[in-house]
Structure 1
Amino acid sequence: MMKCMHIYLSILGVIGFVSSEHEFERRAACPDSSMCLSQWGYCGTGPDYCGSGCQAGPCTGSGGSSGGDGTIINEQTFACAFNTIDAGTRLNRLNGLRNSGWKPTNKDEAAVFLGHVFHETDGLKTIREYCAPGCGSHYAGSWCSIQGNPNKLYYGRGWFQLSWPCNYYAAGQSLGIDLLNNPDLVEQQQDIAVKTAIWFYNANNMAAPAKQGDFAATTRIINGALECNGGPGTNNQMARVATYRRIRHCFGLGEPTRNPVC
């Protein structure tokens, strides 16, 4: 079901110094979206910066701002997670998430979900499979009683790259939209691009392990036959895991507490 390229970029925090006084440089905003602006106006990572009184960035404490609205996934954490797209595209994608109505229960769930989204969509650069439309015929088959519309193509679209007629039909039934006959809606409307991913996420019970930070279990659900247990997609899994590790830091979570490899 999942087809995509992947990119992993590590983010290195750089702290500026005022050489004449050997003090941390005060900043109006941090130059790196993975850094927090502390209550004293300094940029950095860790509890001293992201804890109590944090003013901006992926804050983890109380008394400060987390991008303006206090939610777990906000402009700051979203920018940190999706750091390879331009600001306009990123805001467009974030608004799709907001309009979908979905919010993570905790930071572990946010990191797991966005880690998979990044991997499946090349960092949200595309919500349409790169091989489309040429590869559309590859997804014409059906394992259920539903047959695809012969005039439509069912290649990967959306935040989880929804594919195949059976999945388009089931997702559409759940969302109250005829996606079997209108599959292009998944790439045309930002909120539907998100909602189809949430449909798959909920239909396959990914939330429970995600809330516990069990990335391996969620990878097994998404693409276990190919990526897990030394399968042919092992390298893809390693790229997926590297992305997840990076995005955890966007939420101030640090390294995984569970083995992220399935």
Structure 2
Amino acid sequence: MIRRVMSLLVALGAVVAALVVLPAATAQAATCATAWSSSSVYTNGGSVSYNGRNYTAKWWTQNERPGSSDVWADKGACGTGGGGEDPGQSNGFVVSEAQFNQMFPNRNPFYTYQGLTDALSAYPAFANTGSDEIKKREAAAFLANVSHETGGLVYIKEVNEANYPHYCDASQPYGCPAGQSAYYGKGPIQLSWNFNYKAAGDALGIDLLNNPYLVEQNAAIAWKTGLWYWNTQSGPGTMTGHNAIVNNAGFGETIRSINGAIECNGGNPAQVQSRIDKFTQFTQVLGTTTGSNLSC
């Protein structure tokens, strides 16, 4: 009898030991709710996701970021189905694809988010300098000016074709090999003039002087020309758009560098205000601040 009991105890011990070494069950993260949008209205019980967490609205709210306002109840981490408007993307850009689509709901399919992120390697300091607040502010400033130039990323090329022959400066030693009417405004910053195509092409390692049409045919090249101007050209201003933001000179100086000769110093206050309004909207989408000196 004792032997039988001992055998049973040994067998039971083996079972217990086997149970002990079994791995613990892994908790599954909740599915993420629909991404929070700064332009949407939420009422009591409305669920959203933001920065990888789910939240539920306690009462009516609009433009109050989850996690930064007591209007939202934190329902915990989520791991599938998105994660909300988290600016921390695998591509390193502070603007998520969801935020990009929110900024440009009617954009031309030519202006792809992938084209923009593919272009970032040309200017790695863009939206990647300073604090998170400054990084997001620069992205918002660039995209606000781009939105103004293209009607919300609708226009790939300049609408007024009567202007096309005007953008050839024949005094340049290289002339206009693609034709006098080939250097009209194209792309997100509406690059124009043969000398700008020459300079941008040289900087990017692309022959844009002989083939300026690449800017309206290839999304990544189009975005690269916009980033070239933003990061390297001061235009009629005194600094680049990049330096204006990262050195806290203000959004107004980015306007001056792009179209200041026409719009600034009272030249066209309505156009200046339009750019400021779009910049303010985009900073809200990204959850950052505008800083001071918005006008020029």
- TM bin, normalised by shorter chain, reads 0.7 to 0.9
1:39 aligns with 2:53: yes
Asked if structure 2 preserves the Cα contact closer than 8 Å seen for 1:42 and 1:49, the reply is: no
For residue 170 of structure 1, what is the aligned residue in structure 2? 199
Asked if structure 1 preserves the Cα contact closer than 8 Å seen for 2:53 and 2:84, the reply is: no
Following superposition, the deviation at residue 186 of structure 1 comes to 0.4
Following superposition, the deviation at residue 50 of structure 1 comes to 6.3
Match 2:127 to one of 93, 104, 117: 104
1:78 aligns with 2:92: no
Between structures 1 and 2, the one with greater strand share: 2
For residue 229 of structure 1, what is the aligned residue in structure 2? 265
Deviations 1:110-149 (A, max 9, x none): 11111111111111112211224x4211212356443112
Following superposition, the deviation at residue 198 of structure 1 comes to 1.3
Pairs within 5 Å for 1:48-197: 48-49=66-67, 56-59=83-86, 66=88, 71-85=93-107, 89=109, 93-102=112-121, 103-105=126-128, 106-132=135-161, 134-142=162-170, 144-149=172-177, 151=179, 152-197=181-226
**Partners of 2:195 and 2:229 in 1: CA distance:** 12
Following superposition, the deviation at residue 83 of structure 1 comes to 2.7
Following superposition, the deviation at residue 183 of structure 1 comes to 0.7
Amino acid of the residue matched to residue 165 of structure 2?
S
Asked if structure 2 preserves the Cα contact closer than 8 Å seen for 1:25 and 1:42, the reply is: yes
Residue segments in structure 1 that go unaligned for 5+ positions in a row: 1-10, 18-23, 30-35, 61-65
Q: How many residues align?
A: 228
* Larger relative contact order (Cα-Cα within 8 Å, sequence gap ≥ 6): 1
- Alpha-carbon spacing, 1:40–1:153, altered in 2? closer, same or farther (3 Å): closer
Following superposition, the deviation at residue 84 of structure 1 comes to 2.8
**Partners of 1:250 and 1:208 in 2: CA distance:** 22
| Paired residue secondary structure (1:118) | helix
Cα RMSD of the aligned pairs, angstroms, is 2.9
| Paired residue secondary structure (1:225) | helix
Larger Rg, first or second structure (1 or 2): 2
Asked if structure 1 preserves the Cα contact closer than 8 Å seen for 2:93 and 2:127, the reply is: no
Asked if structure 2 preserves the Cα contact closer than 8 Å seen for 1:93 and 1:124, the reply is: no
| Paired residue secondary structure (2:41) | coil
Residue segments in structure 2 that go unaligned for 5+ positions in a row: 1-37, 129-134, 234-239
Amino acid of the residue matched to residue 192 of structure 1?
I
Asked if structure 2 preserves the Cα contact closer than 8 Å seen for 1:109 and 1:210, the reply is: yes
Asked if structure 2 preserves the Cα contact closer than 8 Å seen for 1:136 and 1:155, the reply is: yes
